[in-house]
Amino acid sequence: MRVKLVVAYDGTNYHGWQIQPNCITIESELNRCLSELLNEDIQVIGASRTDTGVHSLGTVAVFDTNTRMPADKISYALNQRLPEDIRIQESVQCADDWHPRHCDSKKTYLYQIYSAPFPMPSFRLNMHFSYHQYDIDAMREAAAYLIGEHDFKSFCSVGTVAETTVRTIYDVKIESRKIPGVFIAGREGKEEPVVIQIYVSGNGFLYNMVRIIAGTLMEIGLHKYPPQQIQKMLEAKDRQAAGPTAPANGLTLYSYEFPEFSEKRS
């Protein structure tokens, strides 16, 4: 049978998703623990790859197995073997030919920025720290230009291997919230710490696309470019036209939806 997994991980201690020689990756840990558990050689197929240090609340992967263990019990047994920074959220049987990269999907990424005078240790693994203060309205105005179908060639790393650089972004939502009371008695002129969350949803993303979008929106939030510059960046179809790639630790694959997926009940 083919089993679909929803896999969450804190990417801090891994060299990303994809198997590489001499590195510990999410994929290598899944293959190792599944092979031990099921006593077969198991190789998972992931829906998408994340870079070193990027996190996930629910990536999707499938694998084929001859086991007689019910598919929905594999999550419990596998979590007993996996390191604590990887946890299966769900395991279900799917059609034998269902492939997570060959069907329609909606992916949402979350990029988190902690903007404050000093870093906050409890946020260090999941948020990019910046001592700058950002103009959130300018970032929101800029984000609106990204929505829709565009050629995102300017927003992917050079060397990307993809048939086309056209992608559709469904939504970009930017939230900003203060952390009340974190500081003792307000000092004059002292900025309050702010957590900025950028949610980007789309049908697919090019290599480093969300980190380049986040890095570009941050520069717009610092008034390095006006919001409407996004249009010119898209038109340029040149990586040099957009902003820098934001650091990996701020990025989390937030959710993955497959509108046409249906569980196979045996």
Rule CB under 8 A: say whether 161 interacts with a second copy: no
- Joined together, the tokens standing for residue 169 give 């972004």
The minimum distance between CB 244 and a second copy, in angstroms, equals: 22
What is the distance between the terminal CA atoms of the chain, rounded to a whole angstrom? 10
> Total residues contacting a second copy (rule CB under 8 A)?
44
Q: How many CB atoms lie within 10 A of CB 254?
A: 18
Binds a second copy (CB under 8 A): choice among 1, 35, 90, 176: 90
Rule CB under 8 A: say whether 17 interacts with a second copy: no
Binds a second copy (CB under 8 A): choice among 45, 95, 261, 264: 261
Q: Which of residues 176-195 bind a second copy (CB under 8 A)?
A: 179, 181-185, 187
Catalytic residue among 51, 72, 85, 135: 51
The minimum distance between CB 240 and a second copy, in angstroms, equals: 33
What is the torsional sign of CA 157, 159, 160, 163? positive
The question of whether 51 is a catalytic residue gets the answer yes
Q: Is 24 exposed, middle or buried (0-12, 13-18, 19+ CB in 10 A)?
A: middle
Rule CB under 8 A: say whether 229 interacts with a second copy: no
Rule CB under 8 A: say whether 119 interacts with a second copy: yes
What is the torsional sign of CA 244, 238, 101, 172? positive
The minimum distance between CB 190 and a second copy, in angstroms, equals: 8
Rule CB under 8 A: say whether 171 interacts with a second copy: no
- Joined together, the tokens standing for residue 98 give 């269902």
Integer Cα distance of 217 and 198 in angstroms: 9
The answer to whether 26 touches 55, Cβ cutoff 8 Å, is no
Torsion of CA 236, 238, 240, 242, to 10 degrees: 60
Stretch that binds a second copy, among 111-119, 146-154, 203-211, 213-221 (CB under 8 A): 111-119
Query: Contact residues for a second copy (CB under 8 A)?
Result: 6, 8-10, 55, 57-58, 60, 75, 79, 84-90, 92, 108, 117-122, 124-126, 179, 181-185, 187, 252, 254-259, 261, 263
Active site residues: 51
